[in-house]
Homo-oligomer: A and B are copies of this chain.
């Protein structure tokens, strides 16, 4: 079926349509975004926005490919979780290479709530501590276990997974992804903090309007009063 008329507008729009790319094979050795270009984008005096090229080989340096900012833990959330996420945003050399990574620290008893990454498989290596961890598959079966220092668990792409520090000292994990931008949906805030119609949530979870209200206030930054 078809019969697409291609107007001049369509051709322009098509260009708009093709700026965003994907995680497969890189087309070059690497592409470290050019900092001057980034700077230009930020000033954008004339309302114009340009797309910067990569640094060429002679401009790039080893530092573009090394991340030194996760020797210590990040800031802890109120669930006892501290994450340092590394993507092309803070390590330009990752750009176009199809990988990114995180350091996660969890306080004793702290959790990383059920969440998933829409665009990546994750491998988590336990640097320190004892962590209850697992994922759920499409048949709603949980694959969970307590991981110890030096163990590694793999979380298949797009499946809900979670962590809880069940040891008696802080835990540290190193996670890597096979996408430079894996994405993240935290179930509690995505479902109860995003503004989905309350009636639908009541029916979906079998919770009372009051219970839903409590959760919305808890997870929706704008709902919090």
**Interface 0/1 of A52-69, CB less than 8 Å to B:** 111011101111111110
CB-nearest residue of chain B to A127? B127
Number of copies of chain A assembled together: 6
Contact, CB under 8 Å: B85 / A4: yes
Q: Digit string of A35-57 for contact with B (CB within 8 Å is 1, else 0)?
A: 01110111000011111111011
Bound Cα distance A203, B188 (Å): 10
Number of interface residues of A (CB under 8 A): 164
B143 touches A158 (CB 8 A): no
Task: Give the contacting residue for A24; candidates B24, B77, B144; CB below 8 A.
Answer: B24
Q: Given A6-B138, A11-B53, A70-B152, 10 more contacts at CB 8 Å?
A: A18-B19, A22-B22, A30-B156, A37-B49, A86-B152, A116-B116, A136-B196, A140-B190, A160-B185, A164-B203
CB-CB nearest 6 A-B residue pairs: A118-B158, A16-B33, A71-B150, A113-B204, A21-B21, A17-B88
- Contact partner of A17 (CB less than 8 A), chosen from B15, B135, B180, is B180
